[in-house]
Amino acid sequence: MISFASDYLCGAHPQVLKRLVETNMEVLGGYGSDLYCQSAAAKIQAACACPKAEIYFLTGGTQTNQLIISAMLKSYEGVIAAKTGHISVHEAGAIEYTGHKVLELEGELGKLKADDLEDYIKTFFADENHEHMVFPGMVYISFPTEYGTLYSKKELEALAAVCHRHAIPLYIDGARLGYGLCSYENDLSLPEMAALCDVFYIGGTKVGALCGEAVVFPQGNPPQHLRTQIKQHGALLAKGRLLGVQFDALFTNDLYWHISQHAIAMAEKLKKILMAKGYEFFLQSSTNQQFVILDHKTMERLSSQVEFSFWEELDEDRSVVRFATSWSTKEEDLKVLEKLL
């Protein structure tokens, strides 16, 4: 059976795995002190055009969100996010577990709007009772969003301006960062994004690694004793090399971008096939996630031969499903799919 269920269903990109094999018997320091972590960090600094950036490697997305958000918030602060944000819905309350509220704004197709954000913050500080409320202490967005949508450069600049005006850090969840930056509609470069936010992470798990996310503090100002906080969260790998070697491989010879471009090319072909067959899209996405409306008969028929993800029920007869491509999506799979549709 072919699968478009998600972008984390195969192992690592062969080149990443190859480097794990090649370096396997080297004796290296533990806990992220090894030379591959250093080398990967240097390559990421270069890719971001942030020579002062500090980089930390973590294992997965929820872990990263939990750690970064709780390490940067003061105890009486919460994090603003879209109602559909991953931290709002699909992380089992990982943020609240650390004592902080997710302050949910409505958003639009997964995106926060700068005006809404400005309004929220202004209204908060204007409220006589705001001492009895959770202070907004960070803004969380995802790029691409959970709906595969993207912030334009202009939109991100507007959000960043609001954050800057109120001295509230802006954090970008880049679980699928490569698939966003390589989208044909994207007008942001990695250095531009790095310059607009206070912290973000470059997703590895969904973009060719076995596991791993690279947290980037573009201006080199991480929270104090962050390594200790990582340990305190149970998130410090003894064999930090596992992450260092993978990110070193991903940022060697533009592998991260090749992987991402491939997934986007496959997604574009997928879109064409679906459109040609008359399928209706739930929303326009230019990234590796495509949201399609299926009537329940079609859904049932297809699901015996191709894997995709159920997203939400639209009405009695139809549901939204997601098709995702990745570095491992093959042309042949698309051809098989085309015949099935």
> How many residues of this chain interact with a copy of itself, rule: CB under 8 A?
78
Select from 191-199, 236-244, 283-291, 298-306 the region that touches a copy of itself (CB under 8 A).
Answer: 236-244
In 98-149, alpha helices (H): 114-126
In 132-214, alpha helices (H): 153-165, 177-181, 190-196
Q: Are 110 and 147 in contact, with CB atoms under 8 Å apart?
A: yes
For a copy of itself, the closer of residues 95 and 159 by Cβ is 95
Give the x-and-dash track for 198-227 against a copy of itself (CB under 8 A).
Answer: -------xx---xx------------xx-x
Vertex 117: Cα angle to 115 and 121 (nearest 5): 120
Select from 3, 219, 298, 303 the one that contacts a copy of itself (CB under 8 A): 3
| Minimum separation from the CB atom of position 34 to a copy of itself (A) | 9
Residue 154 engages a copy of itself in binding (rule: CB under 8 A): no
| Minimum separation from the CB atom of position 191 to a copy of itself (A) | 28
Strands 199-203 and 135-142 turn out to be: unpaired
Give the other-Cβ count within 10 Å of 292's Cβ: 22
Residue 331 phi, psi dihedral angles, 5° rounding: -55, -40
Q: Are 292 and 274 in contact, with CB atoms under 8 Å apart?
A: yes
As to burial, measured by CB atoms within 10 angstroms (0-12 exposed, 13-18 middle, 19+ buried), residue 339 is exposed
From residue 107, alpha-carbon distances to 53, 169, 282 in Å are 30, 19, 17
Q: Are 267 and 335 in contact, with CB atoms under 8 Å apart?
A: no
Question: What is the gyration radius of the CA atoms in the chain, in angstroms?
Answer: 20
Residue 167 engages a copy of itself in binding (rule: CB under 8 A): no
| Minimum separation from the CB atom of position 18 to a copy of itself (A) | 9
Give the x-and-dash track for 39-78 against a copy of itself (CB under 8 A).
Answer: --------------------xxxxxxxxx--xx--xxx-x
Select from 25-33, 40-48, 272-280, 282-290 the region that touches a copy of itself (CB under 8 A).
Answer: 25-33
Residue 120 engages a copy of itself in binding (rule: CB under 8 A): no
Residue 20 engages a copy of itself in binding (rule: CB under 8 A): yes
The residues in 71-110 that bind a copy of itself, with binding defined as CB under 8 A, are 71, 74-76, 78, 89-94, 96-102, 104
Tokens (6 digits) for 244: 């260092």
For a copy of itself, the closer of residues 186 and 319 by Cβ is 319
From residue 179, alpha-carbon distances to 106, 135, 136 in Å are 24, 33, 29
| Minimum separation from the CB atom of position 45 to a copy of itself (A) | 22
Residue 12 engages a copy of itself in binding (rule: CB under 8 A): yes
Residue 26 engages a copy of itself in binding (rule: CB under 8 A): yes
Residue 27 engages a copy of itself in binding (rule: CB under 8 A): yes
For a copy of itself, the closer of residues 1 and 278 by Cβ is 1
The residues in 276-315 that bind a copy of itself, with binding defined as CB under 8 A, are 307, 310
